[in-house]
Structure 1
Amino acid sequence: MPPPVPPDLPKDEAQQARTPRPNARYTVLDAPGPLPRDMLRDLLAIRRDPLEYLRSAAGRWGDHIAFPLPRSPVLFVNTVAGARRVLVENAGAWSKRTVQYGALSLVTGSGLLTSDGSAWREARRVAQPAFHRSGLVAVAEQSVAAAERLRARWDATASEGVVDVDAAALQATLEVVGRTLFGGDVTAESAGDGERVVAAVLEALGVVISRARTPVPGWLPTPSRARLRRANRVMDEVVERVVARRRASDELGDDLLGLLLAAVDEGRLPPEAVRGELVTMVIAGHETVASCLTWTLHLLAEHPEAQRRLHAELDAVLETHEDDDGALRAPSWEDLRALTWTRAVVDESLRLYPPAWVVTRRADADDVVDGVVVPAGTLVIVSPWLLQRRADAHPDPETFDPARFTGEGPAVPRGAYLPFGAGARLCIGRDFALTEAVLVLAALLRDREVRPAPGPAPVVEALVTLRPRHGLPLRLVPRSPTER
C-alpha cells in the first residue's frame, strides 16, 4: 500500500507521492535507476564501454542512480557536492573496501592505493618525505633523461615521422619509475630490475581487468590465474633483490626505498609493506603518467593554436645563446615554475582524460549524500571522467582549453577537478606525476611539432587507466630554428 499523502501537497507532487519509484522494490536508496532486467540487457554494453554506459545512464536517470546489484546498495553520484561529501567532508566514514580496490590489492597487496585506517596513515607518513623537493629533483632529472632517450629512438626508427605515442609514453615512464624507485645509483642491474617489475605489474593488471569483466569461481584454475601467480612471483623476486642490494650498501638512503626499509627496521611497518608500496608506486608513476602524456599529445595535435602557444613558451624558457645552431636546451627542474602554459596543457588534459576514470568507496556508517540517505555498506561510484565534463562546473566542457588553469578564464570550482583524488586521500604522487609529465612533454616538443596521423580517431578504452585502443599514431615534424 502506498504511503499516505499529506493533504497540503500540490497536485503533481501528490501524484508522485502515490506512485512509487519503479525500482523501489530492488533498492533501499531513494534514487531512480535501472531495473535488474535493464542491467542484464546492458551487461555487454557495460563491459564494452563503461564510460559511454555511465554517460547514457546519467542522461536517462540523472546525477544520482541506484543500481540494483546484489548484496549491497550501489549509488552512482555525479555532482561536485556529492563527490566532495564522500571524498573530503566525511571521508572518515567511507573506506576502500570495494571490488575495485580489492582487485587491485591482488597486485599491490596492502599498499597506499588500497589500504585504509591506521595502516594507511602510517605508510603515508613514512613515504611522504620521498616526495619532497629533493626527491622531485631526481624525478625531474630522470624524466628529462628518459625523454632524451625517447627522442633518439624516434630519430632512429620513426617511419615518415609517425610514431605510436602510447607505446612511447609507456616506455618513457617505465624508465623514469624504474630508475627512480629501484636504485638510487641507477646501475644497469637496478634499471633492468625496474623494467622487469613494471612489465610484471602490467601483466598482473591485465589479468585483474579481465577477471573483473568476466568473473569466474575462485577455485577454478584458469590460464589467467597462472599468469597472475607468475607476475606476482616476478615482483616478489625483484623486490627481494632490490632490498638485498640496498641493504648491502653503506646507507639505506633517503629515497622511497630507503625510507621504507628504515621504517621496517624501526618496527613502524611490516616487512611485506616494502613490496606493496613499491608496486603501488609503479602503478601510480608509470601507467597513469603514460596515459596523461598520450592524451596530452593527442589533444595538442588536434589543437594547433594551443600547441603554438606551448612552443612559444618553450622557445622563451629554453632559449640558449651559447649554441651557434640555435638549438633549445633540454628543460630542467629549475624551469618548472616558468612552464605555466605547459603545465596548464597537462592539467586540461587530465580534466578531459583523467587516468583514474572511476573512484569507489563503501560507507562504513550511515550518511546522507545530496539528500539521499545512504545506509552503511552502500557502495558509491564517482566518475571523474563525467564529473569533470559537467557544464555547470566547466563552461563548454568538451572543449580543450588550457586557459581554464592559467587564470585567464573562470576559475575551476572547488571539488570539480579531481584527477588525483581529493581530501586526505589525495594521491601522494601528484607532484611526482606532474613533474614527470611537464618535463617529458617540454623535452619532447621543444624542437618538434605533433600532428594527427592518417587513420580513424582513437577509441578510449577504460582499463585501469584510460588508454587508446590499439595505440595512438601521431606525426612528429621537426621545427627548424627559423620557425622559432
Structure 2
Amino acid sequence: MSIATRMQALQPTDLGIPGPTSLDMARAFRSVRADPLSFLTEVSEKYGDLVAFPVPGPPALLLNDPADVRHVLQTAARNWGKQTVQYAALARVTGPGLLASAEPNWIEHRRLAAPAFHHQRLAAVGDQVRAAADAAIAGLLEVDPGPGGRLVDVAALTHRIGLDAVGRALFSTDLSGHAQRLLDATSDAATLVVRLGRSVLPTAAWAPTPTNVRLRSTRRRLDAISADLIAQRRRRGGSSGSGHGDDLLGLLLDSELSDAEIRDELVTMVIAGHETVAAALAWTLMLLAEDQPAQDRARAELTGHAGPVSLMGHRETLPWTRAVVDESLRLFPPAWALSRRSQAADVIGGHAVPAGTLVIVSPWLVHRRGDAWPDPLGFRPERFLGASGTLPAYLPFGQGPRLCIGREFAIGEMVVVLSRLLTAYRVDVPDGWTRPPAETQVAVHPRGGMPLVISPLA
C-alpha cells in the first residue's frame, strides 16, 4: 500500500476543528517532510489558531494561540506529557534524560542537575566559556584575513564553540581529546532523531532498517565517549570523600544515579547544549551582519563594559546585547516544534478533547504572530528593551515546569561569545547575499552553513 493510499485511509476524530483532509496530507507528503516549517505556516494561515490533522485514534492538533499554548505547557502541564513520537525518537539516542523523559522521575533528575545551573555556578564558569570562544575564534581565524576580511562559515565556528563550552562548563574539562568523536556522533544522532521523528508509521527498534542500524552504531559511540568521561572523573575525584566536583558530571556522580542514567544526562546535555546554542548564534551573527547599526550599537556596549562579560545579569549590564539575543531567539527559535500528549480529557480552544490527544506547538509560528509582535518578521531588538523576560507569546526554551534547565547558560554563552567576537571583528554579509533557508534538524539550522565576512577591527 502506498503512502498516499495509507494517508487517504486515515479517519480523523470529528471535533469540529478545521484542518487539512487526508487527501490534502497525502498530496503534501513530500513537501511536509522537506520543509515542515513552511507547511505549518501554510496550514495555520489557512485554518487558524487551532488545526486538526487527519490521524487514526485520538486527535492531533496544532496549537498557535498563546493562551492554548500556556494551558498545555504551564497551567495544565501535569496532564500533558512527553509520550510522543518526537521525544520517543530523541530518547532512542539520549535515553530517558531530562529533555526526552516522559516519566515522573524527570522531576528527580532535574532536582539533581539543578545546582549545576545555579546562578553562582554559572557566574563561576564564565572564564571557561570565554576560553572556549577565544580558542575556536583563534583556530578558525588563525590566517590573517587581511583588510578585506575573510569568508567564514560561522555555523561551523559556533558549533565548535558550543561543543567546547559544554565540555568546559558542564564537565569542567577540555573535551579536545573527545571533541571530534563527540561532534561526529552528536551530528549523526541529530540526523537520526529527525528521521525517526518524521516517520509516518512507527518502526520497531529491533527492525534491521538502515536508520536503526546507524542508530545502534551511534549509540555505541556515544556510550563509549560517555564511559570515558565518567571513568576519568571517577579516577580524579571522590576518593577523599569530598565529592567529584560541583559541575554537572560531578553532581551526577555524587548522586544515586547509575552510570547508565548519568550517561543519559550527559548525552542529553551535549546534544541539546551545543546544537541549540550553535544554531542560535549563527542566526544572531547573520542578523547583525545584515543590520550594521544594531551591530555597531552592540559593539559599543560590549567595548564599554567594565571587566569581562559574565554569564549572568545581562538585562541590567548589557541591555542592547541581551535584546539582540532575545530578538534573534524570537525570529529563529532553536526548538522549532514541541509536542505533548494528554493523559486525561481536557478542553482546548473551547473544544473538548479526549485522553491521548496529541498537540504540536511551534515557537516558530507563535513568535511570528502579528497580534503579539508588530512587524513580526522584522529584526527589532528594541522591542525587548525593558522587557521583564516573561512574555505570553515568547517561548524559545518552552514554558512551565519543563522549561529548559539550561536556558540561562545558553543565553549567557551567546552573550559571552558575541562579546569576544564583536569587540575584535566586524561581521558583514558577502556580495550577492541571500539568506540560507532554515533547515529543521534537532534545532533550526541554516541549510548549507552560514557564510559571512569576518574582518578585524582597525
Tell me how far apart the structure 2 counterparts of residues 78 and 231 of structure 1 sit (CA, whole Å): 35
Pairwise CA distance, 1:96: 0.1
> Between Structure 1 and Structure 2, how many residues are aligned?
438
Map 1:16-415 → 2, pairs under 5 A? 26-157=12-143, 160-182=149-171, 184=172, 186=173, 190-214=175-199, 217-218=203-204, 219-251=206-238, 252-264=244-256, 269-317=257-305, 331-333=309-311, 336=314, 337-407=316-386, 414-415=391-392
2:305 alignment partner, SS class? helix
1:12: which partner in 2?
none
The residue identity in structure 2 corresponding to 1:428 is: I
Identify the match of residue 451 of structure 1 among 405, 428, 447. 428
* CA distances 1:28-70 after superposition (whole Å, capped 9, x unpaired): 3221011111100011110111111111101111111100022
1:439: which partner in 2?
416
Whether contact under 8 Å (1:174, 1:195) holds in the other structure is: no
Closer/same/farther in 2, CA of residues 333 and 420 from structure 1, 3 Å limit: closer
Pairwise CA distance, 1:174: 1.1
Structure 1 vs Structure 2: percent identity of aligned residues? 47
Map 1:462-477 → 2, pairs under 5 A? 462-477=440-455
Whether contact under 8 Å (1:181, 1:278) holds in the other structure is: no
Gaps of 5+ in 2: 1-8, 239-243
1:460: which partner in 2?
438
1:156 alignment partner, SS class? coil
1:317 alignment partner, SS class? coil
TM-score after normalising by structure 1: 0.85
Tell me how far apart the structure 1 counterparts of residues 308 and 214 of structure 2 sit (CA, whole Å): 40
* CA distances 1:359-379 after superposition (whole Å, capped 9, x unpaired): 100000111112121110000
1:20: which partner in 2?
none
1:323: which partner in 2?
none
Tell me how far apart the structure 1 counterparts of residues 450 and 249 of structure 2 sit (CA, whole Å): 34
Pairwise CA distance, 1:138: 4.4
Pairwise CA distance, 1:414: 3.2
Tell me how far apart the structure 2 counterparts of residues 420 and 208 of structure 1 sit (CA, whole Å): 19
Tell me how far apart the structure 1 counterparts of residues 76 and 123 of structure 2 sit (CA, whole Å): 35
Could you tell which deviates more after superposition, 415-424 or 212-221? 212-221
TM-score after normalising by structure 2: 0.90
Tell me how far apart the structure 2 counterparts of residues 255 and 203 of structure 1 sit (CA, whole Å): 27
Whether contact under 8 Å (2:49, 2:65) holds in the other structure is: yes
Closer/same/farther in 2, CA of residues 158 and 349 from structure 1, 3 Å limit: farther
Closer/same/farther in 2, CA of residues 139 and 292 from structure 1, 3 Å limit: farther
The residue identity in structure 2 corresponding to 1:418 is: L
Tell me how far apart the structure 2 counterparts of residues 84 and 215 of structure 1 sit (CA, whole Å): 28
Tell me how far apart the structure 2 counterparts of residues 438 and 96 of structure 1 sit (CA, whole Å): 31
Tell me how far apart the structure 2 counterparts of residues 113 and 163 of structure 1 sit (CA, whole Å): 32
2:5: which partner in 1?
none
The residue identity in structure 2 corresponding to 1:167 is: A
* CA distances 1:156-211 after superposition (whole Å, capped 9, x unpaired): 247641100111110111111122334x3x35xx5423553343122122122223
Closer/same/farther in 2, CA of residues 346 and 298 from structure 1, 3 Å limit: same
Closer/same/farther in 2, CA of residues 158 and 361 from structure 1, 3 Å limit: farther
Pairwise CA distance, 1:212: 3.4
Pairwise CA distance, 1:332: 4.3
Closer/same/farther in 2, CA of residues 335 and 448 from structure 1, 3 Å limit: farther
Pairwise CA distance, 1:412: 7.8
Could you tell which deviates more after superposition, 120-129 or 195-204? 195-204
Closer/same/farther in 2, CA of residues 263 and 248 from structure 1, 3 Å limit: same
Tell me how far apart the structure 2 counterparts of residues 172 and 445 of structure 1 sit (CA, whole Å): 15
Closer/same/farther in 2, CA of residues 466 and 374 from structure 1, 3 Å limit: same
